[in-house]
Structure 1
C-alpha cells in the first residue's frame, strides 16, 4: 500500500521547472522521460481497506468500508508509531488516550450520518428548494427489501447530488408501499411534494404502473412532476438483443475472461505478464449478469489490456 501512495503518476505531477538556464532542452526532455512512472493498483490493497478512483486519468487512493475495529487494529497503532518516532514516548502516550473502541467509532459514524441528513433536509425545508428524486427498490443478501432515495437540487448555483434515505420495506414492495415509505420520510422533515419537479425510476410495475405505481401516486400529489426512465436500464435491455455481428464478439470476450479468471494458475501468469509489461492493470474483470452494469467495465478493461491479452494467448497456441 505504501508504494501505491508514494509512487507518482505522470499525469498527476507537474513538469519540472526550467528556471536553470544552463540546462538545454534535450537534457530536460530526457530527465522527464526517466521520471515518468506508471502507478499500478493491486487488488491486494483491498485487504488494507483501500481501492482507488480515477480523477483525470490518475489513480487516487480511496478508503472503503471496513469494520469499526479498524481504529484499534490498524489506524491508532500506526499513528502511535509515527508519533513515537517523530516526537517521542510522551507524545505516544497522549495519542493513545484517544477513544477508539468499536462503539465509539460506530457512534461517530452515526453522528456524521445524522449531520449530513440534517444539512440536506434543512436546505430543502428552509429554502424551499425544488428537487428531483431518483428512487430504486432493492433486496439485500438477507432477503430484506429496501427503497433507496437520491436527491438532486440546486444550491447556490451548484447542482448537488446527495443520498437522501434508505428505508426498509417490512411487508410488500408494491408502488403504494414504496410511496408511503418515501412520503412519510418527506413529511418527517416538512418537505412537500410541491417541491418535487422530477422522478427517475426503472421500469418495474411498482414504479411506473398506471394505476398504483409510485410515479402515478406521486403525480396525484403534484401533477407537474416529470417522470423519466433510467437510461441505464434501457441500455441493458437493448444489449440483450445484440446484432448478429456483435454477439460473437461478446461471447468470445466472455470465454477469454472466463478462461483466465476461473483458473488460479492462469490468473497468476496473466498478472505476472501484466506486471512485466508495466500495464495499467494486472487483472481482468468478471462479467456478472445480475450486476449488468459490469458489462461496460469488462469491455473497457479488455480494451486497455488488449496487447497483454494478445501476447498471453499467443504463447498458448
Structure 2
C-alpha cells in the first residue's frame, strides 16, 4: 500500500521501522494459537494418540510439567509438543492427572483415545496406587505404558564397569585441565592448529549433559596425540596418562 501511494523509497523506510513490543507479542501469540489449533485438529482426526510426560524442576525451583503427543497424520507419525504447565504446590500423580484432564476438557480431547503413555520411572508417574499411570488405567485399562528410552539410557550410563569408569574419569580430567583454564584452552587450540589436526577444541563434559558423554570421549580419542603432546609440554603427562586411551 505504501509503495502504491508514496513510492518504493518510502516503502523501504517504513520497513526499517521496528515493530513495537505489543505488536510482536500479539503476532507471536496469534502464531502460537494457530499452531495449537492445527495440532489439536490433527489429533482429533487421527483418533488415537500417545502421550509422553516429564516433570522437572527448573533453575528457579519451579516444577514444570511437560506433555508431548504422538499420532498418525497423513500416513506418517508426528510428534508435537502439547503443553507445559507449572505445578504450583505438590508434584503427585493426582496433580499431573488433574492438569492433563483439564487440558483435555478444555480442548475436547478424550482419555478413551489415548493408546499409550510414556514416562520416566518416578514414583509420581509409576506408583502402584496413586501414580499417574495407575489413574490413567482406571479410565483406559488397555493403555500401553512404556519407560522413556532416554531415562533408561541415563540409568544404564550411571553403572559403568570399573575399567570403563577409569577411562572416563581419565578423559574428564584431561578435558577439565584444558578447558577450565582459559590460557590452556588458547594454547591447546593453537597447538592443534599448528599440527593441522582435525579438531581444535575439546568438548566440555558435565554430569547434567550425560548424553554428551559419548561425544566427549570420541573427541578425546580423535585428538589423543594432541592432548598427550600438550600435557607433556605442561609437565602433566604422568598425572593424566597412567592408562592408555
RMSD, matched Cα: 2.2
1:114 to 33, 40, 56: 33
Q: Report the CA distance shift for 1:221/1:303 in structure 2 as closer, same or farther (over 3 A).
A: farther
Residues 170-179 or 105-114, more deviating: 105-114
CA contact (8 A) 1:128 1:195 kept: no
CA contact (8 A) 2:46 2:71 kept: no
Give the number of equivalent residue pairs: 228
CA contact (8 A) 2:71 2:77 kept: yes
Residues 241-250 or 298-307, more deviating: 298-307
1:209 to 127, 131, 135: 127
Aligned to 1:95: 15
> What is the DSSP-based 3-state SS (H/G/I as helix, E as strand, rest coil) of the residue aligned with 2:52?
strand
**TM-score of the superposed pair, with normalisation by structure 2:** 0.84
User: Structure 1 or 2: larger helix share?
Assistant: 2
> What is the DSSP-based 3-state SS (H/G/I as helix, E as strand, rest coil) of the residue aligned with 2:94?
helix
Tell me how far 1:288 sits from its aligned partner: 2.0
Q: Which runs of 4+ in 1 moved over 6 A?
A: none
Partners of 1:129 and 1:262 in 2: how far apart? 52
Aligned to 1:246: 164
Aligned to 2:42: 123
Report whether the alignment pairs 1:315 with 2:237.
no
Partners of 2:174 and 2:79 in 1: how far apart? 38
CA contact (8 A) 2:46 2:73 kept: no
Aligned to 2:63: 145
Unaligned runs of 5+ in 1: 1-87
Tell me how far 1:314 sits from its aligned partner: 4.1
CA contact (8 A) 2:55 2:66 kept: yes
Report whether the alignment pairs 1:198 with 2:116.
yes
Q: Report the CA distance shift for 1:281/1:194 in structure 2 as closer, same or farther (over 3 A).
A: farther
Report whether the alignment pairs 1:235 with 2:161.
no
